[in-house]
Structure 1
């Protein structure tokens, strides 16, 4: 006899979206070494601003503590240190949300927890994702063999689909502000999803990784919506808020009253984490605590505003060219309709080869993205302006 494999992995696309993008860029660079240094990347959502000084100083101090016998720390609590959970709890009070510290679980990022949370659910559950969609939602469920249904979005609904009676789903993924479209649900829209989940016994997995970009009266947390504590688990990350893409820290909120059948999901997640996860380092968590300090928040807001300014450079260009888009105002992502009715991969190749600008083909996020394209605001001001200058010139030639 020999070990059998999880054959669900064989159903996945051979290449993850961003791996395919990297392959195409590499092929182009190898064929065009004389201009490869002119490449401007506006595709993958990685930040470019450094960690705030307050965060760095807190991590330096914590590293020093680890070098002294009196302050050295070994294994920490798998669910996170109380000092960081308390800082996050206080942050939520700004949105009128009261959390119990035991409802907050510190992680190495939202992406990990969005996949790992599935340990709590039966593989027979049906999953609803919006299309276009962050690929991790789909791929992690395909790995478990769950049935996936799609809530399609388009220009007609502003890429913000709402519940429909035909959606028979046990698990619902929502992301607001959305990746990849940048669209953000208002309170009325999220209330409809919460009501739908309550009526159907569904669980909402709410990805709030981009909540820090919200301005105006849009919900930062799904728990601002009445009834959400009965149906929702929330995931957030410091990657975009504070530049932790390489430092790795996030958190998941599981209400202590959230139950299904005889299972309390808060206790189940605690059991899962204490079994399969050893926690985030003390040094990183001290840095994360500083994110929520008065000085840290001031420095972080300056970085976020920097990206908002980039987004405005992009949206101003779209407005000038008369190109339909969503995002950019409450999100670092701009989701635009490909000029000239081009397929998104064709548009990707032409933009790369003709003006040396990289974005993300919408088709990589689902069928609804076939003729759409994602640009990000995570570049420098100079590169963003230059990319948009080239983009405008390119589009003007394309639609002649």
Structure 2
């Protein structure tokens, strides 16, 4: 018997598991300290009321013979896919319900989508990068190349026409840097993908945070339907981090190597995934309704105000950062030339504030640090006060 030795090429601990380990050790040694966590991008506000009511009704349905539901449709119930399609229409993007598959979130989709592609494909990711894109392809044994995001390009990496990639992972607004691609920048990526017969895996998990004219979907860009798959999630849009519901959009005309990509993904899902539960799909449809959107946008406004509070502190301190405008993340340059983990320890020990070391997102993240606006207002204000006091000394 042999194990998958590609796991030997992974870093020993997943980034956020390592952060939790260090924080737990510090808290155990310093039980009198109030530690404020602005590291992991987990929401803190409760689900919109309309989602909770739909969950309750969905659960009640399962308790009655007349309304009981067993296995859902592999692609998700039609009324939920229609709700996603209608939601996209609100920002001017047309996707047909038949091109949407309901799943348990963008993280699992971004890791699983590789199942339908040969391992000999070359994968391109931007650096810094959400670790799942890299780790899942290391597990599969694929070659990975990087496009540099840095201060010189505003942490919006662009393609190198002299380099050929087969699978491209893009995230906009970006996790971790908070930067968002413009239409013209995404058009450059789309043109590159079509020229190279590549496919873009586009992670739009933070689209609801966009406040300017940056595209909220890759399908807002001309030519994307022949080269892109979009992943999205209700985790950050509507607080479903623990409820688990997302969706994948694959244009029916998208083909590669003589195969229809939608049909491949449907076949994979039918084999390995039995769908999202009835109550959760009911909640998803409810939260995407007109009334549901009003509710979740109130929560997003709350997090956006937290982001402004953090960003304003960086402005006062004269610290370079990206994000905060179209994103719940503030990606800041570590002060005084500190390394990412060095600043992590410094902030934890001296301000009792937890963030995320940029080094964990790739080599271009070294010397940078991510703070999240997903905390509650009181803790965000207090954390900012402590940071400003510490860094003003």
Q: Which residue of 1 aligns with 2:218?
A: 222
Which stretch has the larger CA shift, 161-170 or 373-382? 161-170
Whether 1:326 and 2:322 are equivalent positions in the alignment is yes
- Offset at residue 62 of structure 1 (A): 1.1
Whether 1:192 and 2:194 are equivalent positions in the alignment is no
Matches for 1:1-400 after TM superposition, within 5 Å: 3-35=1-33, 38-397=34-393
Q: Deviation digits for residues 342-373 of structure 1, max 9, x if unmatched?
A: 00100000100011000000000001010000
Structure 2 distance, partners of 1:95, 1:22, is: 37
Counterpart of 2:175 in 1: which secondary structure? Answer: coil
Counterpart of 2:392 in 1: which secondary structure? Answer: helix
Counterpart of 1:373 in 2: which secondary structure? Answer: strand
Structure 2 distance, partners of 1:166, 1:30, is: 52
Q: Deviation digits for residues 260-308 of structure 1, max 9, x if unmatched?
A: 0211000111111111110000000000001111211111010000000
- Offset at residue 96 of structure 1 (A): 2.2
Q: Deviation digits for residues 163-191 of structure 1, max 9, x if unmatched?
A: 11232110000000000000000100000
- Offset at residue 99 of structure 1 (A): 1.6
Structure 1 distance, partners of 2:371, 2:163, is: 30
| CA RMSD, Structure 1 to Structure 2 (Å) | 0.7
Structure 1 distance, partners of 2:32, 2:382, is: 19
- Offset at residue 148 of structure 1 (A): 0.4
- Offset at residue 95 of structure 1 (A): 2.6
Structure 2 distance, partners of 1:128, 1:102, is: 29
Q: Deviation digits for residues 212-269 of structure 1, max 9, x if unmatched?
A: 0001211000000000000000000000000000000000001100000211000111
- Offset at residue 387 of structure 1 (A): 0.3
- Offset at residue 34 of structure 1 (A): 1.9
Structure 1 distance, partners of 2:24, 2:298, is: 34
Q: Deviation digits for residues 196-219 of structure 1, max 9, x if unmatched?
A: 001111100000000000012110
Which contiguous aligned blocks of 4+ residues in structure 1 show a shift greater than 4 angstroms? Answer: none
Counterpart of 1:247 in 2: which secondary structure? Answer: coil
Structure 1 distance, partners of 2:5, 2:242, is: 32
Tell me if structure 2 keeps the 8 A contact 1:327–1:333: yes
Aligned residues: 393
Which stretch has the larger CA shift, 237-246 or 158-167? 158-167
Counterpart of 2:94 in 1: which secondary structure? Answer: coil
Tell me if structure 2 keeps the 8 A contact 1:109–1:250: yes
What residue ranges of structure 1 are gaps of 5+ in the alignment?
none
Counterpart of 1:256 in 2: which secondary structure? Answer: coil
- Offset at residue 157 of structure 1 (A): 0.4
Per the normalisation by structure 2, the TM-score is 0.99
